Amino acid sequence: MTKTQEKQPPSPRGVKKIIFLTMLSLFPVLFLLVFEIFLSIFNYGGDVNLVLTREINGSTYCYINKKVARRFFTHQDIHIPDARSTVFLKEKSPETYRIFCLGGSTTAGFPFQYNATFPNLLQDRLDVLFPEKNVEVINVGISAINSYSVLDFTRELVNYSPDLFIVYMGHNEFYGALGIGSTQQIGQNRNWILMYMRLQKIRTFQLLRDMIGGIQNLFSNKNIQLEDQTLMEKVVADRHIALGSPKYNLALDYYEKNLEAIIKTAQKAGAKVILSTLVSNLADFEPFANEFSPDLKPIQVERWKMYLEKGKALEKEGKPNEALIQYHKAEKIDPRPAELYFRRAKCLQATLNADIARKEYIRARDLDVLRFRASSDFNAVIEKAGQRHQVPVVDMEKVFKPYCVDEILDNNLFTDHLHPTFAGYFWMAKAFCEVMYQAGCVVPKDKWKWERIKTTEEFRRIAGVTDLDLEIASQRIRILTKHWPFKKEIVLRPHSGSPYDSLLENTVEAMISQKLGWNEGHYKIAKYLQQKGDYEGASKEYEAVLKIVPFNYFPYIELANLQMRQRKYDAAETTLKKGLIFSRHLPYIYAKLGMLFCFTRKYTPAIENLRQALEVDGRAKLFKKEETAGAYYLLSVAYTQTGKIAAARDAAETALRIKPDFGDARAILNQLSTIGTP
């Protein structure tokens, strides 16, 4: 073959064949790309990004997507928990210190909704300590998620200039979304789960996932889940995961790897990390489930149960030492069931052996095979991770112990098996704040102004936690504990039968059934208290809302009205000026400030604010006819008091044109007719 022949280009037929084969191979990719665009146009699956943006008063704000947890839940018959829509500026200023709090339901603040969460309570402390800085504490806690979700969130949040991550997670490793014992698991291989978390952000993959899930539900032999089942009931697939079993060890191993990845991701982005050990109720929650040794014969199981029941009967009779003898007999048959250690702990605590009792309580929790509370092994992983990466670790048990009987964690600080009370969350926030100081967060240690710190009572007032919030927590716990796996219903806030308690109960029932919003619930209670003359209590309800929704003008106005009724005019002015920061495009607060300044005889600023209110309303068209007429009337009063008679007449005449039967405007116009124009 000659060189000329070797260099000849392919024939037209060969070129067409190459093009055809190339197009054929690219067709699936092009099809999937077009299909993905099509699904995006119709917003299939909704927006599953963690952080969304919106414009507020000309600035771009970020907020946490309430529906982001849809990423992790694979079954459509489950109520997917919402995230908190915490808002923060997209452009971070040099004075801003940004903190993201990550974890499950405890970080989210269950059973409370907003103000009693440890991120909110931490925000209160940091605002007092650093009034010159903009410290942002952003709550990214969601119920029923575990370390996989937290890792996924961390990888996104590093793109939003974080300074610090506070991580409290571990109770949901078995039954949280993607957990090894959960109905929401998609396998037991960590690499596959991590890949799945990336794939499920693609809408085509979401469609495929939903189709497979729909087919599985169609042909499933399982009974349809009852509507009143709790999230706890619906997420449990494996009710028996023994300490040290293969599943247990696998979950612990994956937790350690995910925690390592979270710390490394945060530190690589230049952010600090603070971890916390996990706490749960030891003294008031017996283990949810026992597991006997597999080689135990039925007759031995019956004897074991007999000794246990005898011991419990002796406990009730006030004979703890005799009960311990029965428990010892049960232990000889089988030392494995968790309940045995819980009952022994009760007896030991009753006989003033608190230190030994504490160890028995911990052993009972660790042996509980229904794993809704993290075992001691998880705290060991947290402490080792902190040591390896030089990350501070809050010893939360040490924080809680002084407030519990015999320093054994109990319902003094817990609402149920692991969620803290308002007091529990309060001490968590204090502990995180103190560790931030030790770590030199926000500013170096020597720049922290501890002389600014307030008392416990002052911080509790600032928290904005009202009776309504406590009633919300009580009813949510009551609903939770009426169901499996709990053995008795818990009522945190007993009712006295008073009209106020009945109002609180009915209001919360409406809120839980989503017939009434959280804001509206507080407004309803505030109006009731105001009618009763309890202006201080009513003010607290509006203050509670303002801590969570500072962009809404309405509670500023209502709070200022209450302050004016109490003759707290300076406080009312401060309140309204705060509200004006977020509502300069609305006329309402300008008008209210104008009214306040007229009332306090500050007529020049009254004129400025009333004119601004009317100018803004000229564009927005939000005032009712009576409100516009009222603003012109007040403007006429202010002009009169400053000697601007012509302007006063014009304002009064305008008020009458808008509302011809406006008696006060007619009266001031008649008065002005007797005064010569200067």
Segment 559-575 mean pLDDT: 96
Tell me how far apart the alpha carbons of residues 277 and 375 are, in angstroms, rounded to a whole number. 11
- Provide the 8-state DSSP code for 359: H
Instruction: Record the tokens describing residue 224, joined without a space.
Output: 């349809």
Tell me the backbone φ, ψ of residue 507, rounded to 5 degrees: -65, -45
State yes or no: pLDDT of 521 exceeds 70. Answer: yes
CATH number among 1.25.40.10, 3.30.365.10, 1.10.3720.10, 3.40.50.10540, domain 298-367: 1.25.40.10
- CA dihedral (513, 519, 522, 527) positive or negative: negative
Buried b (16+ CB within 10 A) or exposed e, 47-63: ebebbeeeeeeeeebbb
Strand, coil or helix: 138: strand
- Could you state, in order of their start, the residue ranges of all structural domains in the chain? 3-41, 51-282+374-461, 298-367, 464-551
State yes or no: pLDDT of 6 exceeds 60. Answer: no
Question: Could you tell me if 521 and 510 are in contact, meaning their C-beta atoms sit under 8 angstroms apart?
Answer: yes
Using CA atoms, how far residue 410 sits from 365, 391, 404, 417, 422, in Å, is 13, 28, 6, 9, 14
Strand, coil or helix: 185: coil
Tell me how far apart the alpha carbons of residues 61 and 74 are, in angstroms, rounded to a whole number. 30
Tell me how far apart the alpha carbons of residues 499 and 511 are, in angstroms, rounded to a whole number. 18
With both helix axes pointing from N to C terminus, report the angle between 518-531 and 535-548 in degrees, rounded to the nearest 10.
Answer: 160
Question: Could you tell me if 425 and 107 are in contact, meaning their C-beta atoms sit under 8 angstroms apart?
Answer: no
Q: What is the CATH number of domain 51-282+374-461?
A: 3.40.50.1110
Q: What is the pLDDT of residue 234?
A: 86
Segment 433-441 mean pLDDT: 98
- CA dihedral (500, 505, 508, 513) positive or negative: negative
**Pairwise pLDDT comparison (427 vs 114), residue with the higher score:** 427
Amino acid letter for position 383: E
- When the pLDDT of each residue in the chain is averaged and rounded to a whole number, the result is 90
Tell me how far apart the alpha carbons of residues 327 and 1 are, in angstroms, rounded to a whole number. 97
Q: Tell me which residue of 555, 551, 547 sits closest to 56, measured CA to CA.
A: 551
Instruction: Record the tokens describing residue 452, joined without a space.
Output: 């600014």
Q: Tell me which residue of 120, 130, 134, 232 sits closest to 175, measured CA to CA.
A: 232
Digit-coded pLDDT (tens) for 488-507: 999 999 988 899 999 999 99
Q: Tell me which residue of 238, 212, 229, 90 sits closest to 159, measured CA to CA.
A: 90
Q: What is the pLDDT of residue 43?
A: 65
State yes or no: pLDDT of 56 exceeds 90. Answer: no
**Pairwise pLDDT comparison (110 vs 209), residue with the higher score:** 110
Buried b (16+ CB within 10 A) or exposed e, 340-360: bbbbbbbbbbbeebeeebbeb
